[in-house]
Amino acid sequence: MKIISVLVFAVILLFSISAIAQINPDDRFGTYLDFESGDSSVVCNGDTIILEVYDPFGIFEKVANPDPNPWPKINNSPNVGKITTTASTWELIFVNNEFIMDFSVRTQFQVDIYSPAAGRNVLFRIEVFNDYTIGKEIQATTTVANEWETLTFDFSGTESGKYGKIVLFMDFGGTDVGDIWYFDNVRQAQPPIRYDDGLLVDFENKNPYWFNWGCVFDVVFNPDASGINKSEKVGYFLTNDPDFTWEGAVVVERYVLFDFSEGAVFKMKVYAPYADRSFLFQLEHFDDANLPYGRVFVVATTTVYDEWEELSFDFGDMVPPLESGFYSKIVVMPDFMATNVDEEWYFDDIVFEGKPTTSVISSNPVEYKLYAKNYPNPFNPSTTISYSIPTNSKVKLVVYNILGKEVATLVNEEKPVGSYTVNFDGSELSSGVYLYTLTTGTQVITQKMLLIK
């Protein structure tokens, strides 16, 4: 459909003249706009390149998040974009950039929206750079009011290498004046990856987007196709940080939610440089790993070196049992808790012995209970403590050494019901066991953590 009048096209063309730097949205989340840097503009991909939001109707401003709620963590960003509507039925803002969009993998655009009412229309349009007459648009409808939700605009089948500009219409077709909209995290996303055959990764046909830290990750040729792994391509790690004990990589794009009703075992082929090395396999919540039980892991040990073997990671004995419809991301860490450098690891054929689920992801708060857990544990030198409280309470979170001496007070204030995270830095402390105690008005939890330097 053609929805933009000649007048709007003229306005867009006028504002398109300003020079915009070349950008590359191939970051870990495919994000174009996130509003977290810059004095009066937005930042693309966490880089230093700043993009102006073009605002021909004078309806946009960058403001503080009206509801940075801890759950659901659809959007807890400090800063967001704000739109104040006018009587126009096609008011818009747009971002003009020279990146040519690729739809070969990431076929969807997503935007976090905080709408004044349910049932309102949002139009997402992509255009050819410097040619506003060629474009494609998808419409979505809000389902809640005064609450963050993510709207998805499916551009499946769109030609890659053609489009390079984004135009957003809030309250499309409406004539309400003075309504307040908020939006954030304009991003290009891959639909959830299906795995009906149980195979998650094989680096031949199933190679999702990975983000790595502390090591070098790549896809390379198989170093030994004579054994149990005859694949041509495999994943590759090179450990390279002498201070990092949890080097590894995460699948950024999420899978269809895992269902553990028929099994909770993951298997993976590993080609290790040494035997008796720990290899960690971690599952993460589909959106927020810092929730209670938002990340769980199993560690297996290599038994051979310079040859392929299959490691098994059994989550069936987890306490509490794994919840189906909760996890959809995986993290793998070679040589876990070691600081060796220049070691080459290879891995391939990640298989899940269970089934996918079509469980609906609820945006309603979970049933909270008093909870505290830290990750990583052991740690060096810092760790993140996640905790939740079931009622509005005065909360105190204190760290003690093994002798019972207080070494840090991390929280000491009133908190509403919900889940939280706080970082603990042990860089000034010696190695050893430490305790942290979470206290509310009626309950106390104490947990152990180990600092290893």
CATH number, domain with residue 441: 2.60.40.3080
Separation between Cα atoms, residue 309 and residue 211, nearest integer Å: 24
433 shares its domain with 314: no
Residues 231 and 169 in one domain: no
178 and 222 together in one domain: no
Q: How far is the C-alpha of 453 from the C-alpha of 449, rounded, in Å? A: 13
The CA–CA distances, whole Å, from 104 to 111, 157, 185, 195 equal: 20, 9, 21, 19
What DSSP designation does 170 have?
Answer: T
Q: What is the pLDDT of residue 103?
A: 85
Task: Give the CA diameter of the chain.
Answer: 75
Q: Residue 398: left (phi > 0), alpha (psi -120 to 50), or beta?
A: beta
My answer on whether 337 and 392 are in the same domain is: no
* Residue showing tokens 């096209």: 9
Residue 404 lies in a domain: yes
Same domain, residue pair 279 and 140:
no
Buried/exposed code over 37-59 (b: 16+ C-beta within 10 A; e: otherwise): eeeeebbbbeeeebbebbbbbeb
Q: Are residues 185 and 251 part of one domain?
A: no
pLDDT in the model for residue 281:
94
Together in a domain, 31 and 177: yes
> What contacts 188, CB < 8 A, 6 or more positions away?
25, 30, 32, 101, 106, 108, 109, 110
Residues 383 and 412 grouped into a single domain: yes
Query: Which of 295, 323, 356 delimits the end of a domain?
Result: 356
Beta strands in 289-343 (DSSP E): 295-301, 308-314, 327-333
**What's 251's domain CATH number?**
2.60.120.260
Q: What is the DSSP letter of 13?
A: H
**Residue 364 in domain:** no
Number of domains in the chain: 3
From 45, 44, 36, select the one nearest 252 (Cα to Cα): 45
Residue 79 CA to chain centroid, in angstroms?
A: 17
Answer yes or no: is 21 within a domain: yes
CB atoms within 10 A of CB 140: 21
Predicted pLDDT of residue 50: 47
- The answer to whether residues 38 and 168 belong to one domain is yes
Asked if the structure places residue 246 within a domain, the reply is: yes
pLDDT at position 51 is 58
Residue 363 inside a domain? The answer is no
Q: What angle do CA 136, 139, 145 make, to 5 degrees?
A: 150
Judge if 85 and 158 occupy the same domain. Answer: yes
Give residue 289's pLDDT: 78
Q: Which run of H or of E encompasses 8? A: helix 6-16
Please answer whether residues 330 and 200 qualify as being in contact, where contact means their C-beta atoms are separated by less than 8 angstroms. Answer: yes
Cα dihedral 209, 380, 369, 355 sign: positive
Neighbours of 289 (CB within 10 A): 22
* Domain extent at residue 115: 6-189
DSSP state of 54: B
Q: How far is CA 344 from CA 202, 238, 305, 440, in A?
A: 18, 5, 11, 47
Q: What is the pLDDT of residue 57?
A: 85
194 domain residue, yes or no? no
**Do 399 and 292 belong together in one domain?**
no
Residue 24 domain-assigned (yes or no): yes
Can you give the pLDDT at residue 70? Answer: 58
- Strands (E) across 85-130 are located at 93-96, 108-114, 121-128
Identify the domain boundary among 328, 356, 384: 356
Q: What pairs with residue 396 in β-bridges?
A: 412, 439
**Would you state the pLDDT for residue 37?**
55
Residue 391 lies in a domain: yes
Closest-CA residue to 304 (of 329, 271, 330, 255): 271
Q: For every one of its 453 residues, what pLDDT tens digit does the chain have, with 9 covering 90 and above?
A: 444 443 333 333 333 323 333 334 444 456 777 787 543 333 334 443 445 677 888 898 889 999 887 555 678 788 889 999 988 888 888 775 556 788 877 888 999 999 999 999 999 999 987 788 899 999 999 998 998 988 999 998 899 888 888 889 988 888 889 999 999 888 888 788 888 889 999 998 888 888 887 778 899 999 999 989 999 999 999 988 777 777 888 887 788 889 998 899 999 999 999 999 999 999 998 777 777 788 889 999 999 999 999 999 999 888 788 888 889 999 999 988 777 888 999 999 999 998 776 544 443 444 556 778 887 888 888 888 888 887 788 899 999 998 888 999 999 998 887 778 888 999 999 988 899 999 887 788 888 888 888
β partners of residue 123:
139, 169
d(C-alpha 300, C-alpha 312), whole Å: 7
Tokens 């987890």, residue located? 318
What are the φ/ψ torsions at residue 294 (nearest 5 degrees)? -70, -15
Q: Could you tell me the sign of the dihedral formed by the alpha carbons of 107, 113, 116, 118, in that order? A: positive
The pLDDT, as a whole number, for residue 317 is 82
Question: Rounded distance, CA 110 to CA 117, Å?
Answer: 19
Residue 262 sits in the same domain as residue 180: no
